Amino acid sequence: MKLWLATNNEHKKRELEQIFSGHILVTPASAGLVFDPDETGSTFIENTLIKARVLYDLVHEPVIADDSGLCVDALDGRPGVFSARYGSTNGKKLESWERNALLLKELEHETNRKARFVCSMVALFSHDRFYVVQETLEGEIIRESRGSGGFGYDPILYLPERGCTVAELSEDEKNRISHRGKAGKALAKLLTWYE
């Protein structure tokens, strides 16, 4: 089945291609479409549906969308839905390493380091017909970045049970245990009902 991905993020596309391996995944950018929805939701699910519906209105074909981020207990769940825009000023987004450094600075004197990645993912077939899944990957924020794999906050989310950061996982292992991997696998199972 052909599925449109409501993202122009190549990292996400590569991860999702492994999870939805039996499907053809197409991004708006690869089809020459302008896709830059306003993520005005206050939850991951709201933002996921916003992105899915905007892309659906452009293509009128099944869409996969996700919204994900890092939620830190000591920061009352921040950066949360603002993870990609954390620390941005005047509309200028920070690079991943800058966001990581800012977060580590904000937590410098904090002892509660519990945090999690959250991923909400939707398969949308029309505005009113869709499946939504939300998953997490639990961990804690370490004091300095470690690892070169992954992207975003991966180098600072430490997984105590594995003794490494998400950025130190192999790509296959990350896809197996990550918030996006778990949500994607659950959604892929739901898609078999649709086909």
**Annotation: binding site for Mg(2+):** 38, 67
The residue written with tokens 């991004």 in the block is: 27
What stretches of 64-120 show up as alpha helix (H) in DSSP? Answer: 96-106
* 116 neighbors 136 (Cβ within 8 angstroms): yes
Tokens of residue 146, six digits: 């470690």
Residues with catalytic roles? 67
By the 10 Å C-beta count (0-12 exposed, 13-18 middle, 19+ buried), 131 is classed as: middle
Task: Mark the binding-site residues for substrate, compressed into ranges.
Answer: 7-12, 68, 151-154, 174, 179-180
> Do 27 and 36 meet the contact criterion of CB atoms below 8 Å apart?
no
Which residues contribute to the annotated binding site? 7-12, 38, 67-68, 151-154, 174, 179-180
